[in-house]
Structure 1
Amino acid sequence: MCYTKTTTYLEELIRGIPNGLYYLAGAWVVWEAARFYFVRFCRVEKGVESITAVCAKLETRLSKIETVLDRICHYLAAKEGLSANFFSANSPMMLNDLAKRLLVESGGKDFANDQSEVLIAELENRAPKTKLDVQQTAVLVVFDSTVSDKFNRIKDFIYQNPIYEGEKIELTTLVNIIALYLRDKYLEKHPEL
């Protein structure tokens, strides 16, 4: 009887093993998946956190670099200035008759008038605080426009006329002349400055 009871237990155990193996195999798969997640993905998540921190630092540094570059551009624009032959030394700086003729003949006046909405909007985006800021920022805005196809007529004029009425002209010469003209248009629109 004992033998039969053992046989019955053994038979039950053998019959139950396949189901137990399924449970055991399922538990093993869950264990491996969890281990894979925690071993691999946790490392990746930590890496992402460090990359996010690095990106935040880079964003701060890039912002500082942008500020410094903006200052350098303002300095260079102010340093380059106009030749004394193209402006009156009164304050504020004004175009003389030679510069006014050059502005018209080069197509600079047409460019500034045709593009005035875009150029003034760009000046407004840069939010100059003083009249001098407007003057210096206008140089940057006009210089940024030199890559436009609409500026090609002016560049062609410079190429064909490197000397204008006895004065050497370059791209920066006309950029500064157009910028003074643009400054005046901007100040007409913003008399509060």
Structure 2
Amino acid sequence: MENIGIVISILVGLVTLLSMLVWFGRFIQRVNVHDKKLDDLSKDVEDLKLDMNSVKTLLMAKFKDFEVVFSGKHSPRALNETGQKIFDDMHGKEFLEKNKALLFAYVDKNKPKTAYDVEGLCYLACLMNVNNDAFIEIKSFLYNYPTITLPDGKEHEVTMDEACSVLSLPLRDMYLEEHPEIVR
């Protein structure tokens, strides 16, 4: 009779050990599945980074179109008379002061090394935040702003990316003023 108690104890121990091994095997299998999913996700994130760099490159190429109309290369680039008028009309200085933290955060995140980097990132900071509530007043301004006459006599409606371009140069100057360590 005593042996039956020992046998039952051993059997219960073996069943418990076996069920723990099965549970551990399933746990390891789930970890491996999640590990594979994380690897796949990591590859997707890397692809997204490459895509974002391509988009940024395209946006910067678009930024070059703006330079002819609203700014000129004055080492560094500066708003021309038309660009300055738009900046003043949209109360750009007040807008930038009010939303400085939001826009600087975007530039900071990208860790610019040169003034050239800052100039491009300031444009992207504005463009990437147009769906933020901070830009409601700029959208309202653009919606109500009349068609302007360019120096060449052509009529022109100011677009959101042009407004971002106009805002970007004074934003660049503000950023560089607070970051004297950036190479000019």
Same fold per TM (> 0.5)? Answer: yes
Q: Secondary structure at the residue paired with 1:36?
A: helix
Radius of gyration: which is bigger?
1
Contact 1:73 1:140 in 2 (8 A): no
1:36 and 2:12 are equivalent in the alignment: no
1:124 to 84, 108, 118: 108
RMSD of the TM alignment (CA)?
2.4
- Amino acid of the structure 2 residue aligned with 1:150: A
Identity %: 23
TM-score by length of 1: 0.77
Deviations 1:49-103 (A, max 9, x none): 35325524633x2452343134223212211111622112444322111111111
1:21 and 2:4 are equivalent in the alignment: yes
For 1:56-71, what aligned pairs fall within 5 Å after superposition?
A: 56=39, 58-59=41-42, 61-71=43-53
Contact 1:162 1:170 in 2 (8 A): no
Q: Count residues in correspondence.
A: 175
Deviations 1:15-56 (A, max 9, x none): xx2x44333223222211211222342243144135325524
- Give the aligned partner of residue 187 of structure 1: 176
**Distance in 1, Cα, partners of 2:178 & 2:55:** 25
Unaligned runs of 5+ in 1: 1-16
**Distance in 2, Cα, partners of 1:114 & 1:26:** 74
Unaligned runs of 5+ in 2: 150-154
1:169 and 2:151 are equivalent in the alignment: no
Deviations 1:134-170 (A, max 9, x none): 1111112112322222210110111222623432211
Which structure shows the higher helix fraction?
A: 1
Residues 26 and 162 of structure 1, relative CA distance in 2, 3 Å threshold: farther
- Give the aligned partner of residue 143 of structure 2: 159
Residues 86 and 173 of structure 1, relative CA distance in 2, 3 Å threshold: same
Residues 190 and 101 of structure 1, relative CA distance in 2, 3 Å threshold: same
**Distance in 2, Cα, partners of 1:123 & 1:54:** 32
The offset of 1:182, in angstroms, is 0.6
